[in-house]
Chain A
Amino acid sequence: MSNEMDRDTGHDYDGIKEFDNPLPGWWLLTFYATIIFAFLYVIHYESGSGNTLKKDLEIALAQIEAVKATAGPAPLESEDKLLEKAKDPQLLAVGAEHFQSKCASCHGNELQGLIGPNLTDNFWIHGKGTITDMVATVRTGIPEKGMPPWEGILKNEEVLAVASFIHSKLGSNPPNPKEPQGTKVE
């Protein structure tokens, strides 16, 4: 402690006195440092040398697009191969779980149809009721009719799981079915 420490100012307010100690050096340095940082930061971003938020977002989205391009869409497998996979009980269990949490609110717990069409009969609006068709519909949705695309929320394996689950319920004749919609597929 230097001699300068604890020099009394002579102030007295209701018995409260004040020392006249200097500003702590580290504190002052911190303050100066933040002010210098502020100037540099503002100059960097307001002069145009730093990216705008919009530009940064475009760069980030372009990188994601690039990753998606290299990852590519899942290779399309033949209907037969998919049918083979669809028998896996583990896959069906995963599909059932996702169906209950994401699809049942519109298609019914028993797939009997509610807001969306009955998925157990042999009438189809989009596609012809093949697993390949179901995978496509789950992925891209039917946005104009209120069905959201699930690609991005469900992983490829999960999309297949849901499609397999729906396929396994074909002809299950649940109670209170919604009236047939679309074209009959024999």
Chain B
Amino acid sequence: MMNPMKGANVESLKNNNLVKVVYDDKIVKAFLLATMVFAGIAFLVGVLVAFQLSYWPLNLNMEWFTFGRMRPLHTNAAIFAFAGNAIFAGIYYSTQRLCKTRMFNDTLSWLHFWGWQAIILSAAITLPLGYSQGKEYAELEWPIDIAIAVFWVIFAVNFFGTLLRRREKHIYVALWFYISTIITVAMLHIVNSIEYPVSFLKSYPVWAGVQDAMIQWWYGHNAVAFFLTTPFLGLMYYFIPKAVNRPVYSYRLSIVHFWALIFIYIWAGPHHLLYTALPDWAQTFGMVFSVMLWAPSWGGMINGLLTLRGVWHLLRTDPIIKFFVTAVTFYGMSTFEGPLLSIKSVSHIAHYTDWIIGHVHGGTLGWNGFMVFGMTYFLIPKLWRTEMYSKSLMVSHFWIGFTGIILYYVSMAAAGITQGLMWRAMDGNGNLLYPDFVETVLKIVPLYWVRAIGGTLYLVGFFIMCYNVYKTIQMAPAHQADTEVLVAATEKESHSEPETGHRRLEGLVPTFSVLAFLAVFVGSVLEIYPSLNLKQYIKDEAPVAPYTPLEIAGRDIYIKEGCYTCHSQMIRQLADDVLRFGKPSTISESMYDRPFQWGSKRTGPDLARVGKKYPNLWHYKHMLDPRSVTPKSIMPNYPWLADNTIDFISIRKKVSVMNAMGVPYDEKTIAQADVVAENEAKVIAKDLADQGITQPGLERKEIVALIAYMQALGQKEKKKGDDNGKTVAGSL
């Protein structure tokens, strides 16, 4: 809000070549309060899912409350609602000050704010209801995807508009990181979300199988890079020097680590797919680029920590510095652990286990969370023109939260390594030592309790902050005005000496932005382009049969229930995986999978070859009460699957959309997909009835479709000769 200036002042300001700038602090306050609201929701749901894993009855047999639907809510809330709003708060605050100008356009600022909150609200409604694309951190359905793109562009226009109006010739390193964030997130989101709508809240990605895997993890990994790393490095570069009032350690290091980081990061996605059916070369590149990422990441940590040289004593006395220093230290730990986990032989132990969950939370709770808490404690008194209500509560928050992270990380690393070693352990006779999967799960359930307690402590710390912030704002002076500063009007033109190299680039925002885009574009194209033509990996004309109409309906239930949050469908090229689950999964087996469901975590066993392994009745009983067939299983009950009715008519549209994307169905199947599905369902229902399941109308229930899909897994390869034979070690 512009306060009218007194006429005389305006005159004298003009004479001195000074202008008065009123920063928009209201928008920063709004984003900051939204950050706190959604932090509460993200953490609360996180603690809930942690307890659900420790104690399965907490899934409450309730459709919209089970782990499979709550987990996407937790991740989306944590990344896009909590971290997202925090980034926006920090960017709106620091960009105005670094550019010595108000945000480009207040209307765009508020459109951005309310649009983003509306997106979050729609996510919070649709995810528990099961509207999901089944792609991690990209679960939201197509109308919301479009909204995200639109509001991100509004943010971009507002941000770049501000840069172009700046009263500083050069842009500071924090702004470099914001620029690369805005450009890259737009690219990642749009490419990963190209999808074919089936209905208002249902779509299939155009990418299939290995393509979808490659693009999803290019997106997923770089969501970590460009949503949870680069913007936070930008915040670090602004708020740490501000908080300690010391110069940044090394300008040169900023330049080198910035460009190295964004160029290398974009390549590292395939380290999520090591030993899978993804072609070897892509895995190799994913691994070596991850290893090369170590030093550029640590460049940020060094610049952050060494900025404190000479004022280390603040670490003892200033709670804000405690948060910042701990955050940067966790950043250093996570970015060392990341390359380590990307080494193939380490991935062999860690992949699909809780070690990865621990790794991620070291980054999110430690680096992102503590950066945001430090920033909040820094900003609240400045924005509300007062002091924090209680310094000792800040210190309590720090120690309780820190203990929470340590419990979380240590328990998950221990759980992951324990389970990873159990999965591969062999006895002296060439057999798996722990062939029963559930045995390896039960071993780590005590650690799930420790993790849940750690998460609860973190939440308690956060509540202490909420109380502290509430009391602070309550104490604040009633009259609140935006910050006003006097700045030189012609700063931008005042430097006239010739500049060279990077310094020159820092004055040329459009050129800088184009180069930042190229840095992330090159790796993206080189890595993704080869997978766009599936044909080069699949020699046969039609090596696998497409899913039948009922199987498609079942697959959509699998996606809706979030089964992929606990089950993989990818038997890796590793002896222990083969001994446990059967021969390695191939590229052609998932060539019609939209989305791919290779998964990233095995809380339950891999399902790539579960088809025909058990009778229909086994699956029926297992879905309704997993413990009736696997005693001590920690999987939730899914009783509603036997009550909910299949929407047969929608299958017709689904099959025709699949066909439009190149899945070979004959015309009769397309035209009568619902009838075909009904007939398939009757066969399964009859088989169940023969085994004594007397539920009336069973042939119209979701559970039948899901069973059809389960029985199709690993059974779609067209048999020819002995090609379909067992592996040498036999299949289980």
Q: Does B41 contact A (CB under 8 A)?
A: no
Question: Separation in Å of the B280 CB from the closest CB of chain A?
Answer: 6
Contacts of A14 in B (CB 8 A): 94, 97-98, 100, 172, 242
Contact of B250 among A22, A154, A155 (CB under 8 A): A22
Question: Separation in Å of the B573 CB from the closest CB of chain A?
Answer: 4
Contacts of A16 in B (CB 8 A): 172, 238, 241-242, 247-248
Inter-subunit contact B730/A31 (CB<8 Å): no
Contact of B575 among A57, A68, A100 (CB under 8 A): A57
Question: Separation in Å of the A102 CB from the closest CB of chain B?
Answer: 8
Q: Which of B311-319, B425-433, B551-559 contacts A (4 or more CB under 8 A)?
A: B425-433
Inter-subunit contact B288/A41 (CB<8 Å): yes
Question: Separation in Å of the B624 CB from the closest CB of chain A?
Answer: 12
Q: Does A136 contact B (CB under 8 A)?
A: no
Q: Does B164 contact A (CB under 8 A)?
A: no
Inter-subunit contact B426/A64 (CB<8 Å): yes
Contacts of A34 in B (CB 8 A): 291-292, 294-295, 339
Q: Does A126 contact B (CB under 8 A)?
A: no
Contacts of B436 in A (CB 8 A): 153
Contacts of A105 in B (CB 8 A): 618, 621, 628-630
Inter-subunit contact B295/A152 (CB<8 Å): no
Q: Does A88 contact B (CB under 8 A)?
A: no
| Bound Cα distance from A37 to B299, whole angstroms | 19
Question: Separation in Å of the B177 CB from the closest CB of chain A?
Answer: 13
Question: Separation in Å of the A162 CB from the closest CB of chain B?
Answer: 14
Q: Which of B82-90, B253-261, B455-463 contacts A (4 or more CB under 8 A)?
A: B253-261
Inter-subunit contact B292/A41 (CB<8 Å): no
| Bound Cα distance from A87 to B425, whole angstroms | 32
Inter-subunit contact B614/A148 (CB<8 Å): yes
Inter-subunit contact B578/A61 (CB<8 Å): yes
Q: Does B476 contact A (CB under 8 A)?
A: no
Inter-subunit contact B302/A27 (CB<8 Å): yes
Contact of A46 among B281, B302, B617, B618 (CB under 8 A): B281
Contacts of B241 in A (CB 8 A): 16-17
Q: Given A20-B252, A105-B621, are A71 and B691 neighbors across the interface (CB < 8 Å)?
A: no
Inter-subunit contact A13/B280 (CB<8 Å): no
Inter-subunit contact A67/B430 (CB<8 Å): yes
In residues 1-49 of chain A, which contact B (Cβ within 8 Å)?
6, 8-9, 11, 13-24, 27-28, 30-31, 34-35, 37-38, 41-42, 45-46
Q: Does A177 contact B (CB under 8 A)?
A: no
Residues 261-296 of B, flagged 1 when their CB comes within 8 A of A and 0 if not, give 000000000000001000011011101110110111
Residues 590-632 of B, flagged 1 when their CB comes within 8 A of A and 0 if not, give 0000000000000000000000111101100100000011110
| Bound Cα distance from A65 to B302, whole angstroms | 50
Residues 44-72 of A, flagged 1 when their CB comes within 8 A of B and 0 if not, give 01100000111011001110110110010
Inter-subunit contact B253/A68 (CB<8 Å): no
Contact of B617 among A8, A13, A115 (CB under 8 A): A115
Q: Does B435 contact A (CB under 8 A)?
A: yes
Q: Does B170 contact A (CB under 8 A)?
A: yes
Contact of A23 among B97, B250, B280, B432 (CB under 8 A): B250
Contacts of A153 in B (CB 8 A): 432, 435-436, 732
Inter-subunit contact A64/B299 (CB<8 Å): no
| Bound Cα distance from A28 to B294, whole angstroms | 11
Q: Given A20-B250, A71-B428, are A42 and B288 neighbors across the interface (CB < 8 Å)?
A: yes
Inter-subunit contact A115/B579 (CB<8 Å): no
Inter-subunit contact B729/A64 (CB<8 Å): yes
Contacts of B128 in A (CB 8 A): none
Inter-subunit contact A65/B729 (CB<8 Å): yes
Inter-subunit contact B250/A38 (CB<8 Å): no
Question: Separation in Å of the B22 CB from the closest CB of chain A?
Answer: 15
Closest to A105 in B: B629
Closest to B171 in A: A13
Q: Given A45-B280, A71-B428, are A27 and B295 neighbors across the interface (CB < 8 Å)?
A: yes
Q: Given A13-B98, A31-B296, A61-B578, are A19 and B614 neighbors across the interface (CB < 8 Å)?
A: no
| Bound Cα distance from A41 to B339, whole angstroms | 14
Question: Separation in Å of the B105 CB from the closest CB of chain A?
Answer: 21
Contact of B732 among A9, A42, A53, A152 (CB under 8 A): A152
Question: Separation in Å of the B584 CB from the closest CB of chain A?
Answer: 7
Q: Given A20-B251, A64-B579, are A152 and B280 neighbors across the interface (CB < 8 Å)?
A: no
Contacts of B578 in A (CB 8 A): 57, 61
Q: Does A90 contact B (CB under 8 A)?
A: no
Q: Does B168 contact A (CB under 8 A)?
A: yes
| Bound Cα distance from A115 to B692, whole angstroms | 9
| Bound Cα distance from A24 to B303, whole angstroms | 10
- A-B contacts counted at CB < 8 A amount to 169
Contacts of A6 in B (CB 8 A): 247
Closest to B628 in A: A105
Contacts of B732 in A (CB 8 A): 148-149, 152-153
| Bound Cα distance from A11 to B729, whole angstroms | 66
Inter-subunit contact A30/B631 (CB<8 Å): no
Contact of B298 among A27, A52, A60, A71 (CB under 8 A): A27
Closest to A35 in B: B292
Inter-subunit contact A13/B252 (CB<8 Å): no
Contacts of A57 in B (CB 8 A): 573-575, 578, 584
Inter-subunit contact A61/B728 (CB<8 Å): yes
| Bound Cα distance from A160 to B551, whole angstroms | 39
Question: Separation in Å of the A62 CB from the closest CB of chain B?
Answer: 7
Residues 640-683 of B, flagged 1 when their CB comes within 8 A of A and 0 if not, give 00000000000000000000000000000000000000000000
Closest to A148 in B: B613
Q: Does A91 contact B (CB under 8 A)?
A: no
| Bound Cα distance from A37 to B249, whole angstroms | 29
Residues 218-253 of B, flagged 1 when their CB comes within 8 A of A and 0 if not, give 000000000000000000001001100101111111
Q: Which of A34, A53, A54, A152 has the most CB of B within 10 A?
A: A53
Inter-subunit contact A115/B295 (CB<8 Å): no
| Bound Cα distance from A146 to B287, whole angstroms | 41
Question: Separation in Å of the A175 CB from the closest CB of chain B?
Answer: 15
Inter-subunit contact B621/A23 (CB<8 Å): no
Q: Does B727 contact A (CB under 8 A)?
A: yes
Contacts of B729 in A (CB 8 A): 61, 64-65, 68
Inter-subunit contact B691/A13 (CB<8 Å): no
Closest to A37 in B: B291
Closest to A156 in B: B429
Question: Separation in Å of the A25 CB from the closest CB of chain B?
Answer: 12
Beyond contacts A45-B284, A149-B732: 20 other A-B pairs, Cβ-Cβ < 8 A, are A13-B168, A13-B172, A17-B247, A23-B252, A38-B289, A53-B275, A57-B573, A57-B574, A61-B578, A61-B729, A64-B575, A71-B428, A100-B631, A105-B628, A105-B629, A115-B615, A148-B614, A152-B435, A152-B732, A154-B435
12 A-B residue pairs with Cβ-Cβ distance under 8 Å, sorted by A, are A13-B98, A14-B94, A27-B298, A42-B285, A53-B280, A56-B573, A57-B578, A61-B727, A64-B728, A68-B429, A152-B435, A153-B436
A residues near B, CB below 8 A? 6, 8-9, 11, 13-24, 27-28, 30-31, 34-35, 37-38, 41-42, 45-46, 52-54, 56-57, 60-62, 64-65, 67-68, 71, 100-101, 105-106, 114-115, 146, 148-149, 151-155
8 closest A-B pairs by beta carbon, nearest first, are A31-B295, A38-B288, A105-B629, A68-B430, A67-B430, A71-B429, A60-B575, A146-B615
